[in-house]
Amino acid sequence: MKKNPYLLEKRLDVKEKQSQQKTVIALSGIMFLSGFIVAGLDFRFQWIKIPEWTAIIGAVLFLIAYGLYAEVLRENTYLSRTIEVQENQKVIDTGLYGIVRHPMYAVTVILFLSMPIVLGSLIAFIIFLTYPFIIAGRIINEEKVLEEGLAGYSEYKKKVKYRLIPFIW
């Protein structure tokens, strides 16, 4: 809040203009709502019991991912919740952005997959497994916007080959 209030303002802007992105947001909302409801019901009715130590692993993964998320926010002051190219925006190609082109999404995949583990729900974990596929649509659309409007993004794509997961995609 103190170091970069503009970034906070951009992160709180949720008015997506593109219809494809509105679909991604809606699907993500459905995934979250159903995943957390199922996790609660799974806990209440003990549908599938998983070992308690998995919650500890999930919590460790969540904390690591949360730290990485903070690093992504520190590295890229152009982050926005909406797909857009901002005035004077530059390509960030160092740090986590030197490993994958979309480190924020990569970190959110870890965050979101660790949540149902922390909650001890295998069924909710299966629901949250849809997130990487949902976010893939957002990434493909976002890259089109960035290629068209952000100088140097095409060169960046050649330099950093992977979008989300190193050596895979």
Q: Which tens digits make up the pLDDT trace of 59-95?
A: 999 999 999 999 999 998 888 777 778 888 899 999 9
Task: Give the pLDDT score at 13.
Answer: 55
Task: Give the pLDDT score at 15.
Answer: 63
Is residue 99 within 8 Å of 164, Cβ to Cβ?
no
Which residues span the domain enclosing 31? 19-45+52-159
Is 11 part of a structural domain of the chain? no
Structure tokens at 97: 């952005």
Distances (CA, A) of 154 to 79, 137, 147: 18, 19, 6
Is 164 part of a structural domain of the chain? no
Averaged pLDDT for residues 124-153: 93
Provide the Cα torsion 160, 130, 82, 90; round to 10°.
-10
Is 13 part of a structural domain of the chain? no
Task: Give the pLDDT score at 77.
Answer: 84
Convert the pLDDT of each residue in 22-31 to its tens digit: 888 899 999 9
Is 92 part of a structural domain of the chain? yes
Residues whose CB falls within 8 Å of the CB of residue 39, separated by 6 or more in sequence, listed in order: 116, 119, 120, 121, 123, 124
Integer-rounded Cα radius of gyration of the chain? 17
Is 5 part of a structural domain of the chain? no
Task: Give the pLDDT score at 83.
Answer: 78
Task: Give the pLDDT score at 85.
Answer: 82
Is 143 part of a structural domain of the chain? yes
Is 80 part of a structural domain of the chain? yes
State the Cα–Cα distance between residues 47 and 75, nearest whole angstrom.
42
Element of type H or E holding 11: helix 5-12
Convert the pLDDT of each residue in 48-62 to its tens digit: 999 999 999 999 999
Averaged pLDDT for residues 127-150: 93
Is 10 part of a structural domain of the chain? no
Look at residue 20 and tell me whether its pLDDT is greater than 80: no
- Total domains present in the chain: 1
Q: What is the mean pLDDT of the chain?
A: 89
Q: Say what percent of the chain tops pLDDT 90.
A: 70
